[in-house]
């Protein structure tokens, strides 16, 4: 079994958003996806499920930051809201490690950083867990048209996160990429699960790494219907 796992790891492409989307596309096109990749995905799903179950209370709500980078925003948020459970996720392991060091230095026991792809994280959440607020700060804009399918904010993703959000749960979105902002605005205006409330003041602010570099940015808030 250990030998098989090693072989899978050697042959399979890296687990990232692009390779995952390509595997799903291949499945839809009826080209058999790489079995080694699928085996690695299944292993990853189960280890993530166990990690999340260990970190989070099985029921109750938490603040979720998607693509937390180095964890500046959520660490500062958790410092001022120590009673709340907070989880930041990112696919970049190095960023998650650095975020976790910040959290450990601050001694914030209800804050966790997890290396995870957003859709996989949703899949493995305990059935009774949900979001009290969702933050997406400077998500990758994938500017080329042929890469738009890799953008996280899509109608289906909005539907999936809405299943874990109670009525009134806010979604905070911010980007420095104007075309992505326009698309997000349109998606949220038309989406049956979310009501866009425009550019409202946010309950908490801290300039992230990407915000500090951005010459300008736009924000919007939507709430679960
Ligand atoms: C442009 S950076 C922004 C980081 C941070 N939010 C900031 O404002 O400084 C986007 C982050 O999202 C992460 N990311 C991209 N796609 C993701 C996905 N599908 N699931 C989880 N994290 C993702 C990247 O690894 C990266 O750290």
Which residues 6+ apart lie within 8 Å of 167 measured at CB?
224, 225
Least confident of 64-68, 144-148, 216-220: 144-148
pTM score above 0.85: yes
Mean pLDDT (whole number) for 27-50: 82
For ligand 1, the distance from its centroid to the CA atom of residue 97, given in whole angstroms, is 14
pLDDT for the residue numbered 1: 44
pLDDT at 3 over 60: no
Cα–Cα distance between 49 and 52 in angstroms, integer? 5
For ligand 1, the distance from its centroid to the CA atom of residue 140, given in whole angstroms, is 6
**Percent of the chain residues past pLDDT 70, beyond the cut:** 86
Specify whether domain 61-224 bears CATH 3.40.50.150: yes
Helix (H) or strand (E) holding 95: helix 93-106
Per DSSP, the chain holds a count of helices (H) and strands (E) of: 9, 7
Pocket around ligand 1 at a 6 A CB cut-off: 17, 66-69, 89-92, 95, 117-118, 137-140, 152, 208-211
pLDDT for the residue numbered 170: 98
- Whether 29 is a known active-site residue: answer no
- Give the residue extent of every domain in the chain: 1-55, 61-224
The answer to whether 187 and 154 have CB atoms below 8 angstroms apart is yes
Q: What is the pLDDT of residues 135-165, one digit of tens each?
A: 999 999 999 999 999 999 999 999 999 999 9
Q: What is the pLDDT of residues 70-115, one digit of tens each?
A: 999 999 999 999 999 999 999 999 999 999 999 999 999 999 999 9
Q: How far is CA 199 from CA 122, 141, 185, 194, 224, in A?
A: 26, 19, 10, 15, 16
Ligand 1 pocket: which of 14, 20, 67 to mutate (most atoms within 8 A of CB): 67
Average pLDDT, the chain: 90
Task: State the Rg of the chain over Cα.
Answer: 18
pLDDT for the residue numbered 23: 65
Q: How far is CA 88 from CA 15, 133, 179, 189, in A?
A: 19, 12, 25, 26
């Amino acid at each position: 079994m250990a030998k098989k796992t090693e072989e899978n790891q050697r042959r399979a492409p890296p687990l990232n958003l692009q390779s995952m989307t390509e595997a799903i596309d291949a499945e839809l096109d009826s080209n058999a996806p790489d079995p080694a990749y699928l085996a690695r995905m299944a292993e990853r799903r189960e280890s993530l499920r166990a990690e999340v179950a260990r970190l989070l209370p099985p029921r109750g709500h938490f603040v979720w930051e998607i693509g937390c980078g180095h964890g500046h925003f959520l660490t500062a948020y958790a410092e001022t809201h120590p009673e709340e459970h907070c989880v930041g996720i990112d696919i970049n392991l190095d960023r998650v490690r650095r975020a976790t060091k910040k959290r450990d230095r601050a001694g914030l026991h209800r804050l966790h950083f997890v290396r995870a792809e957003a859709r996989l994280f949703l899949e493995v959440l305990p059935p009774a867990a949900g979001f009290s607020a969702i933050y997406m700060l400077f998500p990758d804009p994938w500017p080329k048209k042929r890469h738009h399918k890799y953008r996280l904010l899509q109608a289906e993703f909005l539907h999936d996160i809405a299943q874990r959000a109670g009525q009134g749960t806010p979604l905070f979105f911010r980007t420095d990429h104007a075309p992505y902002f326009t698309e997000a605005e349109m998606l949220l205006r038309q989406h049956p699960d979310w009501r866009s409330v425009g550019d409202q003041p946010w309950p908490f602010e801290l300039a992230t790494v990407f915000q500090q570099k951005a010459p300008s940015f736009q924000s919007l808030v939507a709430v679960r219907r």
